[in-house]
Chains A and B, each alone.
Chain A
Amino acid sequence: ILNVEQSPQSLHVQEGDSTNFTCSFPSSNFYALHWYRWETAKSPEALFVMTLNGDEKKKGRISATLNTKEGYSYLYIKGSQPEDSATYLCAFRSENQGGKLIFGQGTELSVKP
């Protein structure tokens, strides 16, 4: 069974705080690691697809790193804003499972003004 774990489960921060959360995934048969942003009542929106060990990706104030050897990825948000409030999902794709993604349970971020 492939397990994808995210921590923390939820996070409450003040506007302007920087924050980060963790995704851990199996370190064998790695193909790709995805991050999605999911706002309430909407559908998950792709943030990053990461495929190489040591990858760093950035989109505005949000960035992510990847360590495939040890099976973890970090998502960072610099200077959080209320509009960053959402659930952040990571998803693991294995080499031998076609296009199937296994999702973590998500980290729910709430940014207070």
Chain B
Amino acid sequence: DAGVIQSPRHEVTEMGQEVTLRCKLISGHNSLFWYRQTMMRGLELLIYFNNNVPIDDSGMPEDRFSAKMPNASFSTLKIQPSEPRDSAVYFCASSSTGTGAYYYGYTFGSGTRLTVV
């Protein structure tokens, strides 16, 4: 398995532009989490999905942010319009919501470093 795959690895964009980040889950995982890493706040959860359904989006900063999971293996995080304060590393992670011996926690993607100028 190739692990959790994020694209692009780096994105530099101008303020006001739309940005789309992509994430492919590990096959068989049914939960997907989007995190943002900043110096000030560390890793903060933006939104998570179980079985393609958004469960908790309370961490999404504002309406400029939206996330979708069109199928069981793929998710997008969109920022429109982007602002300089959105500059951060965005991680997605996937997990199986099995319990006991089948619960292994998260596997993280390699992140997308977003810079908005």
Interface range on chain B (Cβ under 8 Å from partner):
20 to 34
Chain B at the A interface: SS class? strand
From A12-20, A44-52, A70-78, the one touching the partner chain is A44-52
Complex Cα distance, B40 from A40, in Å, reads 16
Count of residues in A whose CB is under 8 Å from the partner chain = 20
Residues in B with CB closer than 8 Å to A97 are 56
Q: Which 3 A-B pairs have the closest CB atoms?
A: A43-B108, A103-B43, A99-B31
Find the B residue at minimum CB distance from A48. Answer: B105
Closest CB in chain B relative to A17 CB, distance in Å: 26
Q: Is the CB of A49 within 8 A of B103?
A: yes
Q: Is the CB of B106 within 8 A of A46?
A: yes
What 0/1 readout, one digit per residue, does chain B (98-111) give for beta carbons within 8 Å of chain A?
A: 00100111111111
The answer to whether residues A99 and B50 also contact, given A44-B108, A46-B105, A49-B103 and a CB cut-off of 8 A, is yes
